[in-house]
Amino acid sequence: MKRYLALDIGRKRTGIAVTDTARIITSALETVETYKLEDFLKDYFSKNEVEKIIVGMPKRLNNTPSEAVKFIVPILNRLKKVFKEYEFIEVDERFTSKMAFQTMIDAGAKKMQRQEKATIDKISAAIILQSYIDSENYKKQ
């Protein structure tokens, strides 16, 4: 099986997470500067087989797109043009940053580690990906 890859696209940084080839385990992979994302993905895809790209789309509590969507959509549209062979799936990413922060606390991360935005970004991507896998598995049942 091919991996799934998740992106938590931000204005400055993008968190990236992947599954194992069996799509059971989700791991935070990397945080890259958003302007370097395309090059990072080209390199990653040349070395790894990926089936789907899961992209977090932030929404407000009333289910409307958040302000961040206006800078995410152009980046996503560019990626869809460059990586036509991949299926892109947009998922709700509400509260993932807060969940990532809480995950770090639960794991015993020190205050300095919890303040590293790059770490929060890639953990957020892992949460987005795990939530997608969980919903996919639920639909199969």
- What distance separates the 2 farthest-apart alpha carbons in the chain? 42
Q: Are the C-beta atoms of 53 and 89 separated by less than 8 Å?
A: yes
What is 3-140's CATH topology? Answer: Nucleotidyltransferase; domain 5 (3.30.420)
How far is 113 from 23, CA to CA, in rounded Å? 28
**pLDDT tens figures, 87-136:** 999 987 755 555 545 554 555 555 554 445 667 788 889 888 988 987 77
Measured N-to-C along each axis, helices 117-140 and 96-106 cross at an angle, to the nearest 10 degrees, of 110
pLDDT > 90? residue 78: yes
Convert the pLDDT of each residue in 6-51 to its tens digit. Answer: 999 999 999 999 999 999 889 999 999 999 999 999 999 999 999 9
